[in-house]
Each structure stands twice: as C-alpha cells, then as structure tokens.
Amino acid sequence: MCAGGVPFPTRDHAQKVVLAALDIVTFVKDYKNNSKKNDICFEIRIGINTGPVVAGVVGTKKFVYDIWGDAVNVASRMESTSEPGKINISSQTYELIKDDFDCEYRGEIEVKNRGVMKMYFVHKAKENISAPLHL
C-alpha cells in the first residue's frame, strides 16, 4: 500500500499516485517479458481511491506509520475488483485525474460491504499531462 499527499497535502497527489502505479505495472510487465523460463514471475492488480484518512505512528517497541479510514478500505476494494496488470480507480480519483490520463469506464460494479461503485481502468498518461507535478 502507498499513500499520496501524506503527511503533507499536495494538489496533484492523485496524479503522482497514478504515475507511480503506471510505472509499477510497466516494471512488472517488462520483467515478465524479459525473464528466463525458470524465473519466478507474478501478476499485480492495483486499486486507487481518493479521500480523507487518519495517519499516525503505532507501536511501542517497533514503530510503524500507518493510515486508516474509509478511503483506505475503498482502495483495497478497488484492488480486489481489478484485473491482473491493470489499475482500477474509484470515481473520486477519476474526477481528479481524468484530464491527465486515458481512462476506460468499467461500469458500476458490486463491491463487498459497499454496494455498487463506479470504476475506471487507467491506461496511460495523456501527452498534455501537467508537468512538472509539484506542490
């Protein structure tokens, strides 16, 4: 799991997270395509959602920075309802990135403990993506 805009909010957190997800998908595909016959390969699914979270350090002997909240739970559902090698995003994230990325509307999909949610696959960055991404 990763989070954008934490602990310091940025205007382009969603774009940065989607760019990172595209890099991850590309890396995994390239590794698989260039691997030897006996190499261990795997598939990934990526889910992204946008929304408020609570973040903090937990633990008394081993400290861990973690995030909680409904936005985290929905991101997990985006991942579990995605497909191998694809980036599945919520409508909240889509509204923030739609001008910068080519996306495909998947329709309304039933999500465990959430009901029906609109989802989109992200395919690639548009050529006119805001550059550079910054605070």
Task: State yes or no: pLDDT of 128 exceeds 80.
Answer: no
Output Rg (C-alpha) for the chain, integer angstroms: 16
Q: Is residue 5 situated within a structural domain? A: no
Q: Is residue 133 situated within a structural domain? A: no
Which residue out of 77, 114, 118, 124 is catalytically annotated? 77
The pTM is what? 0.87
User: What DSSP designation does 82 have?
Assistant: S
Q: Is residue 131 situated within a structural domain? A: no
Q: What is the mean pLDDT of residues 39-44?
A: 86
Which residue out of 11, 36, 61, 112 is catalytically annotated? 112
Quote the number of domains for the chain: 1
Q: Return the pLDDT at 135.
A: 39
- Reported confidence tier of residue 72, pLDDT bands at 50, 70, 90: very high
Known catalytic membership, residue 112: yes
Summarize pLDDT for 94-111 with one digit per residue, the tens.
999 999 999 999 999 999
Q: Return the pLDDT at 134.
A: 46
Q: Indicate which CATH number applies to the domain containing 36.
A: 3.30.70.1230
Q: Is residue 117 situated within a structural domain? A: yes
**Do residues 101 and 89 lie in contact, with contact meaning Cβ atoms separated by under 8 Å?**
no
Q: Which domain holds residue 83?
A: 13-125
